[in-house]
Chain A
Amino acid sequence: MTVNDNGITSTSINGNAIEFQSICKRFGSTLANDKVSFAVKAGEVHAIVGENGAGKTTLMRILYGLHKPDSGTIYVRGKEARIESPKDAIALGIGMVQQHFALIKRFTVAENIILGQEGSKFYISREKGNKLIAELSRSFDLSVDPEARIEELSVGEQQRVELLKVLYRKADIIILDEPTAVLTPQEIESLYATIERMKASGKTIIFITHKLKEVFRVADTITVMRGGRSIATMSVAEVTPQELSELIIGKELRVRGEQRVEPKNTEALVVENLVVLGERGNEVLKGLNLVLKENELLGIAGVEGNGQTELVEALCGLRRAVNGRIMLFGHELTGTPPWLLRSKGIAHIPEDRLSSGMIDEFTVYENLILGYQTEFSRAGLLQKNEIMNETAKLMDEYDIRPRDLEVKMKNLSGGNQQKVVIARELRKNPKVLIANQPTRGLDVGAALFVHNKLLEAKSKGSVLLISSDLDEIMELSDRIAVIYEGRIVGEFDKKDKVEDIGSAMLGGKGEYA
């Protein structure tokens, strides 16, 4: 038995850190949690997996006091707990890193970490806070500059801040909701190391993910959720990846469409010597060259931050090219505004759906026709019937749940929001699809479905796939181009070794994790 500084007693390894008993939560007509019952043992890494919309986030938000359950009981360290707000959860030693980070962009790292537990009643001493944070980052090997503002940090660094927030509050039950979805492979490795370290210091970790590889890598125990229910809890040793994926989607995983169309020789999209500036006026793309053939799926592999975002923005007309050309089937497109590019057949799945893929206060049907309103209007009036028919069709095809045409986008689970964006962009059979991290946040079944859709899009046009998931790139691409510091530094095909690609991603230096 150990007692931490909050005076919280954590029971020995065999006790339960958390026990859910018959938790129910309904949102309107959706039963998000339906009699969820399972236990998380103290000191283990407990993975929760399940389809998009299975109710994982909802359950964790209940545990952290952000939602009130309609019924059911939560036991924390064997005692019935009343968790009315995050304050109660924090007092019980529970910490949570949410699916969408909850950081204050304009505040410094230190301010974000100490907020709510400033360590004094009145005056805030910067030095004292910085020292505390420095110690904490050292002991968990999470380096960040306490004085930096959040908006200056990369996603990976921001996540470290979220972890430090939790550790600063001396939480010993730590919830991580899809922590790896937005990280680069290197950052994922260092997150694993942090998880190991937290576990070694006696903490209990609840880890939500869609990547089965990760489950087998870090978890001790797995709980599968489906349709709001917890359907199984087992130890990792008891199950194979194949069995697990079937448990998750409730049926056999459909195999990938293997009949692939061979790329033609026509050049669909040509990028010549493209130079683009970043936010600070520095050259981010330094003369990038690229050819995408008709019926080709070209994968762009690279460590995040080497110009991928800027390349995509330039191709979509969202960022000005200071030099170079972009050509579509021999016609110059450089400088064309986004709306015109769309009508010329360029579609775009953005990497950050929340900020550039959707309007969260709009309904699903409004989001599905965004940018294509004119197609559904006559004399300036939207034709609701046509829109609804199309929406119903797309929701069926893409399995968007709950199947409610008028549900607000913000009330969909993360994965279902992503499906809406993809459905809209693919609907018109684009000539060139630019897919930036298209399976981010999708469950195994949905990711496979999207992979098949990308292959289908390639058979009707061509696809530029940008992904930090090298497995995804290797599986789908006809050809792989590696981007490094604003240039394409190498071209590979499937037969090449992953190690070689990985090494090119690091500029030919060093080992790729």
Chain B
Amino acid sequence: MIDISIIILSTLRRSTPLIFASLGAVYSERSGVVNIGLEGIMLVGAFVSVIASNAFGLLPGILLAVVAGMAVAALHGMATITFKANQIVSGVAINLFGMGITAFIPEALMGMTDIRALNSAPLLAGLTPLVYVAIALIPVSHFLLFHTVLGLRLRSVGENPASADSLGINVSTMRYLGVVLSGALAALGGAYLALEQGGGFTKNMVAGRGFIALAAMIFGNWTPFGALGASLLFGFSDSIQTVIQTMGYTIPSQAIQALPYILTIIVLVVAVKRVRMPEADGKPYLR
């Protein structure tokens, strides 16, 4: 018999990076910018959090990771908002950049592929603090997006930037805000993976979670609570796979490990009909 509480805790842990990143994606896409660079930004966040926390301590490490994530996202913003580049192309470039630089620096400059984290986070009721932060951010974001001036303006530029523009709203400012917030949140997701789950940084440790987070955002219909639900679903399927492995069935482990990714595809197919993306999502705005 498997202890239910173990599955719940494990689900929460595995969901946390997805919650951060998919919430980030909600902000970015609600403002009209597709950010498929989340994967790369998560990697940067993970890497910086380990290096910086080893040097300056846990909290400064996480903060610096967030700053780094925001900086990389701002690059994406500059390419797509200021220079109107194709958002997918820029996102791919961000991913390649994130993967490249986090592989290059450790190997070429430090001569190692794995970096251990020296500080570890305290546990509160079996979970590390960032798990609580991730969950707390959901209602906060819901309130921010749907009940405040800032949220209304941010969503307006994602739906119809020409309309927002004609009412005196600065489309670029709002979009930068959405993108930079997505960078901060994705980096937090990366930092959580490295510091509180992985105990350090290893090459390509994000392993597609940035993309799964995008799927969670879509399945969650571009809303914070939806993203939370979808992230929990993915987190659950991820923790179930460990359980199945320990139960000793003779299913090839590769097949079990593929479970979350297969679920992603199924979920997306199911979701297309009942979700609705922001009208101007992915479209650069030219007056």
**Chain A residues numbered 75-126 whose CB sits less than 8 Å from any CB in chain B:** 85-87, 90, 96, 98, 102-107, 111-112, 114-118, 120-124
The listed residue with most A CB atoms (<10 A of its CB), out of B149, B165, B279, is B149
- Distance, CA A67 to CA B165, complexed state (A): 12
- Is B122 in contact with chain A by the CB < 8 A criterion? no
CB-contact partner of A105 in B147, B148, B160, under 8 A: B160
- Is A66 in contact with chain B by the CB < 8 A criterion? yes
Asked if residues A111 and B149 are in contact (CB atoms below 8 Å), the reply is no
**Please, which residues of chain A bring their CB within 8 A of the CB of B163?**
102-104, 112, 115
Which residue of A is nearest B163, CB measured?
A102
Asked if residues A86 and B165 are in contact (CB atoms below 8 Å), the reply is yes
Asked if residues A116 and B164 are in contact (CB atoms below 8 Å), the reply is yes
Which residue of A is nearest B165, CB measured?
A86
**Please, which residues of chain B bring their CB within 8 A of the CB of A105?**
159-160, 279
**Chain B residues numbered 4-24 whose CB sits less than 8 Å from any CB in chain A:** none
- Distance, CA A102 to CA B169, complexed state (A): 13
Interface residues of B (CB under 8 A from A): 147-150, 152-153, 155-156, 159-160, 162-169, 276, 279, 287
- Distance, CA A400 to CA B148, complexed state (A): 47
- Distance, CA A96 to CA B166, complexed state (A): 9
Contact A102:B160 (CB < 8 A) given known A115-B169, A165-B167: yes
Contact A115:B152 (CB < 8 A) given known A102-B160, A105-B159, A107-B159: yes
**Please, which residues of chain A bring their CB within 8 A of the CB of B167?**
86, 90, 115-117, 165
- Is A365 in contact with chain B by the CB < 8 A criterion? no
Asked if residues B168 and A85 are in contact (CB atoms below 8 Å), the reply is yes
Main DSSP-derived SS at the B contact region: helix
Contact A107:B166 (CB < 8 A) given known A66-B287, A123-B148: no
- Closest Cβ of chain B to A56, distance in Å, is 17
The listed residue with most A CB atoms (<10 A of its CB), out of B148, B150, B163, B276, is B163
Mask for A117-143, Cβ within 8 A of B = 1, else 0? 110111110000000000000000000
- Jot down 22 A-B pairs with beta carbons below 8 A, ordered by A: A66-B165, A67-B287, A85-B168, A90-B167, A98-B166, A104-B163, A104-B279, A105-B160, A106-B279, A107-B155, A107-B159, A111-B152, A112-B163, A114-B152, A115-B156, A115-B163, A115-B169, A116-B168, A117-B167, A122-B149, A123-B148, A124-B149
Contact A124:B166 (CB < 8 A) given known A102-B160, A105-B160: no
Interface residues of A (CB under 8 A from B): 64, 66-67, 85-87, 90, 96, 98, 102-107, 111-112, 114-118, 120-124, 165
Which residue of B is nearest A67, CB measured?
B287
CB-contact partner of A115 in B148, B153, B162, B279, under 8 A: B153
**Please, which residues of chain B bring their CB within 8 A of the CB of A111?**
152
**Please, which residues of chain B bring their CB within 8 A of the CB of A123?**
147-149
CB-contact partner of B149 in A87, A103, A118, under 8 A: A118
- Distance, CA A165 to CA B156, complexed state (A): 15
The listed residue with most A CB atoms (<10 A of its CB), out of B167, B169, B287, is B167
Main DSSP-derived SS at the A contact region: loop
**Please, which residues of chain A bring their CB within 8 A of the CB of B160?**
102-105
CB-contact partner of B148 in A104, A116, A124, under 8 A: A124
**Please, which residues of chain B bring their CB within 8 A of the CB of A102?**
160, 162-163, 166
The listed residue with most A CB atoms (<10 A of its CB), out of B164, B168, B169, is B168
Which residue of A is nearest B164, CB measured?
A115
CB-contact partner of B168 in A67, A86, A98, under 8 A: A86
Contact A107:B149 (CB < 8 A) given known A90-B168, A102-B163: no
- Distance, CA A112 to CA B276, complexed state (A): 19
- Distance, CA A468 to CA B276, complexed state (A): 33
- Closest Cβ of chain A to B142, distance in Å, is 14
Which residue of A is nearest B168, CB measured?
A87
Which residue of A is nearest B159, CB measured?
A104
**Please, which residues of chain A bring their CB within 8 A of the CB of B166?**
64, 66, 86, 96, 98, 102
Asked if residues B169 and A124 are in contact (CB atoms below 8 Å), the reply is no
- Distance, CA A85 to CA B279, complexed state (A): 23
Asked if residues B159 and A122 are in contact (CB atoms below 8 Å), the reply is no
New A-B pairs, 19, CB < 8 Å, besides A64-B166, A104-B156, A124-B147: A66-B166, A66-B287, A67-B287, A86-B168, A87-B168, A96-B166, A102-B162, A102-B163, A103-B163, A104-B163, A105-B159, A105-B160, A112-B163, A114-B152, A115-B164, A116-B153, A118-B149, A122-B149, A124-B152
**Please, which residues of chain B bring their CB within 8 A of the CB of A120?**
149
- Distance, CA A384 to CA B159, complexed state (A): 37
**Please, which residues of chain A bring their CB within 8 A of the CB of B159?**
104-107
Contact A118:B152 (CB < 8 A) given known A86-B165, A98-B166: yes
**Please, which residues of chain A bring their CB within 8 A of the CB of B164?**
104, 115-116
**Please, which residues of chain B bring their CB within 8 A of the CB of A122?**
148-150
- Closest Cβ of chain A to B277, distance in Å, is 10
**Please, which residues of chain B bring their CB within 8 A of the CB of A124?**
147-149, 152
- Closest Cβ of chain A to B30, distance in Å, is 11
- Closest Cβ of chain B to A373, distance in Å, is 26
Asked if residues B169 and A116 are in contact (CB atoms below 8 Å), the reply is yes
Which residue of A is nearest B149, CB measured?
A118
**Please, which residues of chain B bring their CB within 8 A of the CB of A107?**
155-156, 159
**Please, which residues of chain B bring their CB within 8 A of the CB of A66?**
165-166, 287
- Closest Cβ of chain A to B192, distance in Å, is 29
- Distance, CA A111 to CA B152, complexed state (A): 8
- Distance, CA A405 to CA B17, complexed state (A): 53
- Closest Cβ of chain B to A319, distance in Å, is 20
Which residue of A is nearest B287, CB measured?
A66
- Distance, CA A114 to CA B166, complexed state (A): 13
Which residue of A is nearest B160, CB measured?
A104
- Closest Cβ of chain A to B164, distance in Å, is 7
- Distance, CA A165 to CA B164, complexed state (A): 12
- Distance, CA A106 to CA B159, complexed state (A): 8
**Please, which residues of chain A bring their CB within 8 A of the CB of B152?**
111, 114-115, 118, 124
Which residue of B is nearest A111, CB measured?
B152
- Distance, CA A507 to CA B148, complexed state (A): 47
**Please, which residues of chain B bring their CB within 8 A of the CB of A64?**
166
- Distance, CA A441 to CA B156, complexed state (A): 28
**Please, which residues of chain B bring their CB within 8 A of the CB of A106?**
159, 276, 279
**Please, which residues of chain B bring their CB within 8 A of the CB of A114?**
152
- Distance, CA A344 to CA B159, complexed state (A): 40
**Please, which residues of chain A bring their CB within 8 A of the CB of B165?**
66, 85-86
- Closest Cβ of chain A to B194, distance in Å, is 35
- Closest Cβ of chain B to A351, distance in Å, is 21
- Distance, CA A129 to CA B162, complexed state (A): 23
- Distance, CA A107 to CA B30, complexed state (A): 13
- Distance, CA A59 to CA B136, complexed state (A): 50
**Please, which residues of chain A bring their CB within 8 A of the CB of B279?**
104-106
**Please, which residues of chain A bring their CB within 8 A of the CB of B155?**
107
- Distance, CA A107 to CA B158, complexed state (A): 12
**Please, which residues of chain B bring their CB within 8 A of the CB of A118?**
149, 152
**Please, which residues of chain A bring their CB within 8 A of the CB of B162?**
102
- Closest Cβ of chain B to A66, distance in Å, is 6
- Distance, CA A118 to CA B153, complexed state (A): 10
Which residue of B is nearest A121, CB measured?
B149
**Please, which residues of chain B bring their CB within 8 A of the CB of A67?**
287
